[in-house]
Structure formats: C-alpha cells, structure tokens
Amino acid sequence: MMAKLGNILAAFVDFIYPLRCMHCATPVCHGKGGLCFKCALQLTLINMEERCPCCFSAEYEPEHPICYLCFMQPPVLKKYAAAFDDQDVAASLINKLKYANQPYLAQGAAAYMVLQLLNLKWPLPDLIVPVPLTFTQRISQGYNTSLLLAESLGEIVKRPVQSLLYKSLWNEDYEGKAKQRGNYLSTNSFLLKKEINVQDKVILLVKDKVRTGHTLNCCAEVLYEGFPKAIYGLSFCKST
C-alpha cells in the first residue's frame, strides 16, 4: 500500500513539476531529466585538428606544429585538451553539475571526456589526478566536480584515481579571478602528498572547466616534484 502511495505521489509531482531539459527547459519524459534529444545532439566534441596540439588554443594555424604562444613559452603540461568549448549546451551541463547540486551528471560528462581522450590517441594514464579544492570550497560547493569527473573517467578507462594534491587554505581564488588579477594562483597554492610515488608514471590531470589554463600548469609544476614521466591535462570544457 505504501509503495502504491509513493508511486502516486511521484506521478503527481512529475505532473505538477515536470522534468525539463537543463538547457532549453523543454519538458522531458525520461529518468533524471538532463538534456532533451535536440540539445543532446548539439553536444559535438571539439575537432582537435582545429586546435593547437599542445594547449588546445583556437588561435592556431594548422600549417604550424604548435601555436605562437606555445612556441614562445612552452606550457608545463605535455598536452592539454577539452571535450567542449564553454558555451551553449556544454556550458549548461557543467554549470548544473558544478553549481546546482546535480552530481549524477558527472558520469555522462566523463563519458564525453573519454571519447575525446580516445580521439586524441594519448597514452592511457597510470594515474588520474583531480584538481583539488580548499576545505571551504568543498563545503560551499558540496563536492569537488573535478574529483567526480576523475572518478567517473577512471571507472570507464579502468585506471586508478588518486587525490595527490592539497590546495592551500589561504588561497580561495578561482581560476577566473586569477585571469582578472594576472595569474594570482602560484605553485605555492598547491602541495604534493609526499607519501605517494609518481616517479616515471603518466599522469592525467582532470578539471571541470578551464579558463586560462594557469591552474592546471600550477598543479603540473607541483606534480613534477615527484618526477613523473609525463603530465597531460583534460577538462570537460574550455573558455574560448
């Protein structure tokens, strides 16, 4: 009897508050909501042939091996890439995951990241490492989106996920503010957990979304203290 009442209540709630597409707000009739079919079709992975193979910048001429910025100042990461640009449907998805308490979206988002990883033909990592948050950031957000993506990605490619980095408590700045203040974050913002051996390992750094790339580079510089073989960076989306 109670189960039937629960089903009736669920149907009533769905009728009064129908599930809607997180991007266009069209009512959807499946599972946990998410995207409608039309918006899901708009999720097209970035064409890696149109981006710098080193930093994934759109300011790139295919006749050159890398972009001008990478030529003038080689990045710390061996290579960086993203699944999507931070706009339209992809932006709605990552914002819902990051700010709207919808952690279940990480599994689907990570699947797209794996598809891009396969397109890139990078070596599969020995370790997947999420970019950390400070304690107060975790409290305010409820969870670390980058960690959720890393864990889901690790489940798909069958690679271990380890939180190798701490983020200093005194530094609460996000990467967007770093851009406004001239790269406010530094390598002092992150600390490496010394008890974990990363020597000669291939590491994949995972972040939910990237604006300047400065945070990933700071994390990579700290990870190189452990003498890994190579460090790659991957995010769900990237600001253009």
Q: Mind listing the pLDDT tens digit of every residue in the chain (240 residues)? A: 445 555 555 554 444 445 778 888 788 765 555 788 888 888 899 999 999 999 999 888 888 899 999 999 888 999 999 999 999 999 999 999 999 888 999 999 999 999 999 999 999 999 999 999 988 888 888 899 999 999 999 999 999 999 999 887 655 444 444 444 434 455 578 888 877 889 999 999 999 999 888 899 999 999 999 999 999 999 999 987
User: CA–CA separation, 118 vs 123, rounded Å?
Assistant: 9
167 in a structural domain:
yes
16 in a structural domain:
no
52 in a structural domain:
yes
β-strand pairing of 165-167 with 190-192: antiparallel
CATH number of the domain bearing residue 97: 3.40.50.2020
Instruction: State if pTM tops 0.75.
Output: yes
Q: How far is CA 103 from its chain centroid? A: 13
Q: Provide the pLDDT for residue 174.
A: 46
Q: Provide the pLDDT for residue 180.
A: 40
Q: Provide the pLDDT for residue 204.
A: 98
98 in a structural domain:
yes
Number of domain units in the chain: 1
Q: Provide the pLDDT for residue 169.
A: 65
86 in a structural domain:
yes
Q: Provide the pLDDT for residue 156.
A: 95
Q: Provide the pLDDT for residue 148.
A: 97
Pair of tokens at residue 95: 């914002």
18 in a structural domain:
no
What are the residues facing 209 on neighbouring strands?
237
User: CA–CA separation, 50 vs 53, rounded Å?
Assistant: 9
β-strand pairing of 127-130 with 165-167: unpaired
